[in-house]
Amino acid sequence: MGRVALVTGGTRGIGAAVCKALAAGGYTVAANYAGNDEAAAAFTAETGVPAFKWDVSDFSACKAGIAEVEAKLGPVEVLVNNAGITRDGMLHKMSPEQWHAVINTNLNSVFNMCRNVIEGMRERSFGRIVSISSINGQKGQMGQTNYSAAKAGEIGFSKALAQENARKGITVNVICPGYIGTEMVRAVPQDVLDKHVLPQIPLGRLGEPEEIARCVLFLVADEAGFITGSTITANGGQYLI
């Protein structure tokens, strides 16, 4: 049995590609999801990866969900914080609900998950934590003050956590994807993609979920122990920092 890897939002999109890549790499994988039972069942039927339903924005649910995963599969050694949502709108029209939904699901979830695995990782002197942020956390995006704030927050959080745990064999890193062809991006109208998104990407195309999964696999490897507090961008050249 390989190391146990838990991927939040692992049943669709980028998370599903990450789960498949980890399973192919010999990890024992668990996928978390929020509520789309149909997609989760199809994902498990296709991959054999078990799916666990809980809301990552709820601290107690994360604690209980992680305990369930660990009872079934063993201690979580690799955590991929991937679950995320968008609730776009210009700030002058944004409701408190839109703001809090995105901050809770995309940023507070990272605290909820990390807090509930970090003590075990420290005791075992090994851990790999990777959070999926976004290009829009690096450069900001009109209509996404909530999302940009949450995604930028993940980067600062990870740099601090990396320093706290460097001596404990735990690495903490971030991946910032550009526009990837998942349902989240396919929800953007095609004419907006054609006129406003694709012309900004030097590669001239959307990224593939598998291209992000490849970055995750690189960072969680035992051999990647010297890489911590880093941010990998995978955005087709759209934003270079």
Ligand X SMILES: NC(=O)c1ccc[n+]([C@@H]2O[C@H](COP(=O)([O-])OP(=O)(O)OC[C@H]3O[C@@H](n4cnc5c(N)ncnc54)[C@H](OP(=O)(O)O)[C@@H]3O)[C@@H](O)[C@H]2O)c1
Listed ranges 72-80, 163-171, 175-183, 190-198: which one lies at the site for ligand X (CB under 6 A):
175-183
Select from 28, 47, 98, 105 the one that contacts ligand X (CB under 6 A).
105
- Residues in region 180-219 near ligand X by CB under 6 A: 180, 182-185
Nearest to 18 by CA among 184, 147, 131: 131
Active site annotation includes 147? yes
User: What is the per-residue DSSP string for 149-179?
Assistant: HHHHHHHHHHHHHHHHHGGGTEEEEEEEE--
Alpha-carbon separation of residue 128 from 54, 72, 133, 169 (angstroms): 21, 20, 16, 8
Residue 21: CB minimum distance to ligand X, A:
13
Distance, CA of 40 to CA of 27 (rounded, Å): 19
| From 27, 33, 147, 179, the catalytic residue | 147
Q: Which stretch binds ligand X (CB under 6 A): 7-15, 67-75, 116-124, 191-199?
A: 7-15
Smallest separation (angstroms) from ligand X to the CB of 43: 8
Query: Considering only 11-19, 67-75, 155-163, 219-227, which stretch makes contact with ligand X by CB under 6 A?
Result: 11-19
Q: What angle do CA 161, 52, 96 make, to 5 degrees?
A: 65
Instruction: For the segment 41-80, give every residue that binds ligand X (CB under 6 A).
Output: 55-57
Residue 33 makes contact with ligand X by CB under 6 A: yes
Tell whether residue 30 is a contact of ligand X (CB under 6 A).
Answer: no
Q: Smallest distance, Å, CB 190 to ligand X?
A: 15
Going from the C-alpha of 229 to that of each of 24, 155, 207, the distances in angstroms are 26, 8, 24
d(CA 57, CA 201): 32
Q: Which of 6, 22, 28, 32 binds ligand X (CB under 6 A)?
A: 32
Q: Which is nearer to ligand X, 95 or 125 (CB)?
A: 95
Measured CA to CA, the distance from residue 236 to residue 228 in angstroms comes to 23
Q: Cβ atoms within 10 A of the Cβ of 192, count?
A: 10
Q: What is the separation of C-alpha 184 from the centre of its chain, rounded to a whole number of angstroms?
A: 13
Site for ligand X, rule CB under 6 A: 8-9, 11-15, 32-36, 39, 55-57, 82-85, 105, 132, 134, 177, 179-180, 182-185
Q: Which residues are catalytic?
A: 147
